Amino acid sequence: MILVTGGAGFIGSHLLEHLVREKKQACCAIDEFNDYYDPALKRENFAGLKRSVPMLEADIRDEKKVEKFIRTHRPETIVHLAARAGVRPSLEQPVLYESVNGGGTLVLLELARKFGVKRFVFASSSSVYGASKQVPFRETDPVMEQASPYGVTKRAGELYCSNYASLYGLPCIALRFFTVYGPRQRPDMAIHKFARLMLAGKPIPFYGDGLTRRDYTYIDDIIQGVAAACEWEGRFEIVNLGESRTIELRELVELMEKTLGRKAERQNFPEQPGDVPATWADISKAKRLLGYRPSVPVEAGLKRFAAWLLARRKTR
């Protein structure tokens, strides 16, 4: 049994579909369907999984409810994806971010220890690298400074995992995701937001000079890496999961114009606090440890994302 927290979210719902349909794996899930973005989208994400995946609709910080659920389903693996996931909003609500991402992770680690869970897979983030200019980012790089409270909470989660691995022998693997996109992407993320605005003929908010770089990872590639981590054995690891290619924001917009066949009107804003100049994953460790082989370049991934978005617009 695999427990996926945040199972109704963007990455969680794709992971559950993969595990249940492709791997025939028994799964259960926890999600509070909060309104960080429209909860109806999360219900939609989970609709096809409802019959096969028992879902606890609760806050991961509600220790009693989560304990009862874990006692009932006895997962061998916990994939912990539930979190407050936006970088910029973490500057507005740092206390909430710490409580959910730090405190919530501790609740799950405690229960994992108590119930002898065999493996804890933690969703970390490229944000832990902060504004580091030394690219590509390697897991061995020092990560002393993050650019946002969100990044700090993800680093804290990694440290709690490492602490539980060494104190209690709980096998933990922290996966540092690099900007994930694809069908059902969170609507607050750049690609999804830009595409919606471009299709509506509205200007897109363009922060800074367009030279910031991101390593964009297609959802199927991330799922391949997370699924491999569900079979990993060891004590403690931190692993980058990215595409290992980096493109500038202005290049991304050009690619989106080409893909959607629309010109983007830009509304310029200064660089946002919390944003970092570049992300770029060195994925040699993921290749070695998890057999990770990302295969969807951003040009192809954007086409798939656009096809999903356009089909969805027709049915709504």
Residues taking part in catalysis: 150
Sole binder of ligand NAD in the list 3, 17, 18, 31 (CB under 6 A): 31
Residue 177 contacts ligand NAD per CB under 6 A: yes
Report the distance separating Cα 47 and Cα 255, nearest Å. Answer: 32
Choices 78-86, 255-263, 264-272, 293-301; region in contact with ligand NAD by CB under 6 A? 78-86
Shortest CB 263 distance to ligand NAD, Å: 26
Report the distance separating Cα 10 and Cα 226, nearest Å. Answer: 14
Shortest CB 179 distance to ligand NAD, Å: 5
Task: Tell me the pairing of strands 119-125 and 172-177.
Answer: parallel
The 107-136 contact track toward ligand NAD, x by CB under 6 A, reads ----------------x-x-----------
Sole binder of ligand NAD in the list 19, 28, 32, 89 (CB under 6 A): 32
C-alpha pair distances (Å), 220 with each of 34, 189, 293, 294, 295: 25, 17, 11, 8, 9
Separation of first and last alpha carbons in the chain:
35
Residue 12 contacts ligand NAD per CB under 6 A: yes
Residue 186 contacts ligand NAD per CB under 6 A: yes
DSSP three-state, residue 157: helix
Q: How many CB atoms lie within 10 A of CB 261?
A: 9
Residue 148 contacts ligand NAD per CB under 6 A: no
Shortest CB 255 distance to ligand NAD, Å: 17
Sole binder of ligand NAD in the list 78, 83, 239, 283 (CB under 6 A): 83
44 φ, ψ (degrees, to nearest 5) = -65, -45
- Cβ-contact 158, 122 below 8 angstroms: yes
Structure tokens belonging to residue 172: 């933990």
Residue 37, Cβ density class (10 Å: 0-12 exposed, 13-18 middle, ≥19 buried): middle
Choices 27-35, 111-119, 230-238, 254-262; region in contact with ligand NAD by CB under 6 A? 27-35
Q: How many residues form the binding site for ligand NAD (CB under 6 A)?
A: 29
Which single residue brings its beta carbon nearest to ligand NAD?
Answer: 9
Q: Crossing angle, helix 39-47 and helix 10-17, to 10 degrees?
A: 10
Residue 301 contacts ligand NAD per CB under 6 A: no
- Binding residues for ligand NAD, rule: CB under 6 A, are 6, 8-12, 30-34, 36, 42, 59-61, 81-85, 100, 104, 123, 125, 177, 179-180, 186
